Chains A and B, each alone.
Chain A
């Protein structure tokens, strides 16, 4: 089974009903996407498929159609995505476990809606849980990233 992750093509020998998250973490050792709940309730496993945020614990590898982008492919330390820059500037992360999912969802939000209101942010980011309660900083960082992208 072939899949493209962060621009690199991979071949894996797995059952078609293995969730994409398992393929990324256990087969390809791409560990940015996190296992939080495994039942689509926390958002820690969020990745992009053809630019759209999906919960990788829910997508069977046999059903994958499109290129996968994980946090490792969103930006690089030398060339951060605007959302990553804003995350650092706002010092969003506390323990950090949920943050790759948060950032992937936020990047998708801003691609869809360049100037989100607080209500928009809450509606879209509400599926990404943060046990440390960094929500006020997440919201501030999304606004800051929106401003950066508007100026880009």
Chain B
């Protein structure tokens, strides 16, 4: 299928955003501390604010969580395509608009789809989290073949840079935020990494 590239309309807003994230890892962390950190990381990764867009092979985003009732695919027959941005069908940006400079209040506008100062999109196919177990997500996240070639620091920096992830803790509307905070989640990633990225056995 031929389709236009949206390059001209993809605007990575230059506006400075939200909180500064401290990326300092702990000097040491035991395996037990790492596993405790992982349990909290899994609470975040499996939360609807994150997992609804981590749908693996499926290009249908999900609607699930306390504000949606029964889990179901995103309404309006939305498909993200291979681009994961809907470029082949309806771009996510047709509703998840991006241009606001008032990001503190960007999701306070009533009756609007969530938005961030980046192009809305699904996570890569490899980051398959929706409905997955703690072990499955843990093994994906620590495998450079499946996590975009990232080590611990790169994972933490990814959380700092990718503003769509920040939205999970500031989703607006009646959406339940992801648990803990962005900084606490980054701290847990760093503890888990320093502890050697341990995964639970059961």
| Chain A residues near B (Cβ < 8 Å) | 16-17, 38-41, 43, 50, 52-55, 57-60, 62-66, 105, 111-114, 120, 122-124, 126-127
28 A-B pairs within 8 Å (CB atoms) are namely A17-B109, A38-B111, A40-B76, A50-B8, A50-B9, A52-B9, A52-B93, A54-B95, A54-B97, A55-B94, A58-B97, A59-B97, A60-B100, A62-B99, A62-B102, A65-B11, A65-B99, A105-B90, A112-B4, A112-B88, A113-B1, A113-B88, A114-B2, A123-B89, A124-B90, A126-B76, A127-B76, A127-B77
B30 in contact (CB, < 8 A): no
Residue B97 contacts which of A60, A113, A123, A127 (CB distance < 8 angstroms)? A60
**B76, B94, B111 interface centre (most CB from chain A within 10 Å):** B94
* 6 further contact pairs, Cβ within 8 A, besides A111-B4, A126-B76, A127-B94: A16-B102, A41-B76, A62-B101, A105-B90, A127-B76, A127-B77
Residue A40 contacts which of B9, B91, B95, B101 (CB distance < 8 angstroms)? B95
Closest to A18 in B: B109
Expressed in whole angstroms, the Cα–Cα distance for A41 and B166 within the complex equals: 25
Q: How far apart are A73's CB and chain B's nearest CB, in angstroms?
A: 18
Q: Hey, which chain A residues are within 8 Å of B76, CB to CB?
A: 40-41, 43, 126-127
Q: Hey, which chain B residues are within 8 Å of A50, CB to CB?
A: 8-9
Q: Hey, which chain A residues are within 8 Å of B1, CB to CB?
A: 113, 120
| Chain B residues near A (Cβ < 8 Å) | 1-4, 6, 8-9, 11, 75-79, 88-91, 93-95, 97-102, 109, 111-113
Q: Is the CB of A122 within 8 A of B99?
A: no
Expressed in whole angstroms, the Cα–Cα distance for A127 and B75 within the complex equals: 8
Q: Is the CB of B90 within 8 A of A39?
A: no
Closest to B96 in A: A58
Q: Is the CB of A123 within 8 A of B95?
A: no
Q: Hey, which chain B residues are within 8 Å of A38, CB to CB?
A: 111
Q: Is the CB of B95 within 8 A of A52?
A: no
